[in-house]
């Protein structure tokens, strides 16, 4: 997992509309980058909807909000439309950025182990440094924690 105050790794990923987003595009702005496991699952839906419901507060603070999962651009488009999400969802199907940010973890389900996306959030300051790292997110109350750090 990345350490606070270290330089945030750069990235280049496509959003739900196929538009490319780079961390460098947001130089001089604060970014909240959150990683989540899978579109349309209960926990992830609750998380993105919590960010959606606080989006205006984040915007007033000048924050850029970006969600990332390994889902396809097409899946992100459907997920974003279904839940009226006002922020981009970035697609990382090869899990390169997810891995660089330390959000790819060994998980187990039904006795099987596999590599999956660990729900985590990073606040990146205006200079591109990691202001705050939330390595393991509990969806309930998480957006309030993020707002407190801003």
Any idea which residues carry the catalytic annotation?
44
In which residue are the tokens 């509990």 written?
138
Burial of 108 (0-12, 13-18, 19+ CB in 10 A): exposed
CB neighbours of residue 102 within 10 Å? 17
Evaluate whether 104 touches 3 at the Cβ level (below 8 Å): no
* Cα–Cα distance, 65 to 48 (Å, whole number): 11
DSSP H helical ranges for the chain? 42-53, 55-60, 73-82, 96-100, 142-149
């Amino acid at each position: 997992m990345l350490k606070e105050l270290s330089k945030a790794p750069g990235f280049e990923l496509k959003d739900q509309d196929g538009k490319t987003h780079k961390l460098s595009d947001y130089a001089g702005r604060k970014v909240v980058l959150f990683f989540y496991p899978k579109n349309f699952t209960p926990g992830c839906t609750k998380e993105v909807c919590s960010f959606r419901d606080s989006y205006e507060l984040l915007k007033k603070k000048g924050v850029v909000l970006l969600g990332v999962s390994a889902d396809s651009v097409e899946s992100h488009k459907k997920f974003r439309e279904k839940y009226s999400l006002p922020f981009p969802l970035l697609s990382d199907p090869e899990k390169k950025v997810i891995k660089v940010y330390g959000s790819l973890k060994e998980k187990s389900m039904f006795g099987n182990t596999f590599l999956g996306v660990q729900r985590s959030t990073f606040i990146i300051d205006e200079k591109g440094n990691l202001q705050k790292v939330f390595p393991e997110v509990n969806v309930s109350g998480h957006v309030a924690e993020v707002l407190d750090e801003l």
